[in-house]
Amino acid sequence: MNSSSLNWISAKNSADIALPVSTLLSLSGLLKNTGFPTVEEINRTVATWHQGHYHGPIFKGQSTYDDSETRYYEQIVAEDGDVPTREGSWHDLFNALIWMQFPKTKAYLNALHVEDIQTFGLNPRTRRRNHITHFDECGVVLAIPRDRLKQGNALLTLLAQHQWVEGLHDEKTQWGDSIYPFVFGHAILEMMLNPFIGLTGKWLAVVVEPDFHTLSFAQQVQTLDESLVQRIQQLQDLTPKYLLKPLPVLGVPGWGQGQTLAFYQNQDYFRPKRANGGSTIQLPLT
C-alpha cells in the first residue's frame, strides 16, 4: 500500500476530522475509497455529482504536463479547460471538490484572475486578485434566507464586529435556521483534516430563498453557485477594501469540538476587532 493510501485511510478515519470535510467526502462517495482518489476517479466523481451534466473544466494530472509548460495556473484553466491537479495532494483534491460544487463561481473567479493578468501582468498582484485568492483558499459562504433577513443581518453584524461570544455562542440556535454556513475555500478544507486553534476563514454572505432548508446539500450548493456569481458582481468583483471579514471557523456551531463559553472567550483565537479594521460593504443584506 502506498503512502498516499495510508494517509488517506488514517485521515478519513480520524476522530478529529471536521464536519464539513467528512460530510463532503461522504456525499461525494469518496469516503468509500480505500486509497487516495486518482485524477481519473476525481473526474468520475465530479461527473456523477452532476449526473453527467457537468460543464466545468476537467482535472488533469500534474505529472502529465511537459516541463516546457510555462503558463500560469489560471491561464491553463481558462485556455485549455483543464485544472492542473497534483496526484496524491489533499489541497488539489479539495480544490476539485469545490469545482464540483461551485463550477460557475470558480470559473468566474478564474476569469477575473486572467483579466487582471492580461491587463496588469503577473506581478505585482492587484488587490482584486489578492481578495479572490483569499476567498478561493479560505472562503466561507454564509447563506441567509430571504425571510430571515432581519435575524441574519443582526447575526452578520455581530460577526463583522468580532462579537464572537454573542454571534457564535449565544446565538448558536440561529445557525441552521437564520444562517447556513458552507466552506468554499479548499485550503480551509485541507486544514480541517487536522483542525487547530487559529484556523480562520473569510466570509461572504448571500441571500437565498426561504425554502433553502428543504433542499438537499447538492441542491443547496447548486443554488449558491448561481447566487454567488451575482453577489460577487454586486460587490464590485471583490475589489473593495475590508470586504471579506474573518471567521474563526472552529467556532461555527457544529464545526469544532469543545465549543464551551470559555472556548469562545479565548481572545488569542477569537480576536477583538482592530480599531482600523474598517467596515464591510456587504452589510446590510437586502
Same domain for 258 and 141: yes
Domain count, the chain: 2
Residue 283 inside a domain? The answer is no
User: Which range marks the domain in which residue 156 is found?
Assistant: 127-264
End-to-end CA distance of the chain: give it in Å, rounded: 53
252 shares a domain with 132: yes
Task: Answer yes or no: do 131 and 203 share one domain.
Answer: yes
Q: What are residue 203's DSSP bridge partners?
A: 140, 245
Half-sphere exposure of 14 (CA within 13 A, CB side): 18
For residues 158 and 167, what is the distance between their CA atoms, to the nearest angstrom?
A: 5
Residues 15 and 95 in one domain: yes
Where is average pLDDT lowest: 7-16, 169-178, 245-254? 7-16
Is 28 part of any domain? yes
- Say which amino acid occupies 221: V
Same domain, 142 and 237: yes
Which DSSP letter does residue 247 get? E
- Residue 118 domain-assigned? no
pTM: predicted TM-score of the whole model, two decimal places: 0.95
- Same domain? For 161 and 217 the reply is yes
**Residue 26, in any domain of the structure:** yes
Q: Are residues 260 and 137 in the same domain?
A: yes
- Is there a domain that residue 113 lies in? no
Same domain for 233 and 151, yes or no, is yes
**Domain assignment present for 117:** no
Give the CA dihedral 101, 200, 132, 171, nearest 10 degrees.
70
Do 246 and 200 meet the contact criterion of CB atoms below 8 Å apart? yes
* Confidence label for 4 from pLDDT (cuts 50, 70 and 90): low
pLDDT band, residue 1 (cuts 50/70/90) = very low
Same-domain pairing of 99 and 200: no
Task: Say how far apart CA 100 and CA 225 lie, in whole Å.
Answer: 10
Cell for 226?
Answer: 448561481
For residues 245 and 139, give the distance between their C-alpha atoms in angstroms, rounded to a whole number.
10
Residue type, 143: A
Q: Is residue 285 part of a domain?
A: no
Residue in 201, 202, 196, 23 with CA at minimum distance from that of residue 101: 23
DSSP state at residue 270: S
Query: Across the chain, what does the average pLDDT equal?
Result: 94
Q: Quick one: 146 and 247 in the same domain?
A: yes
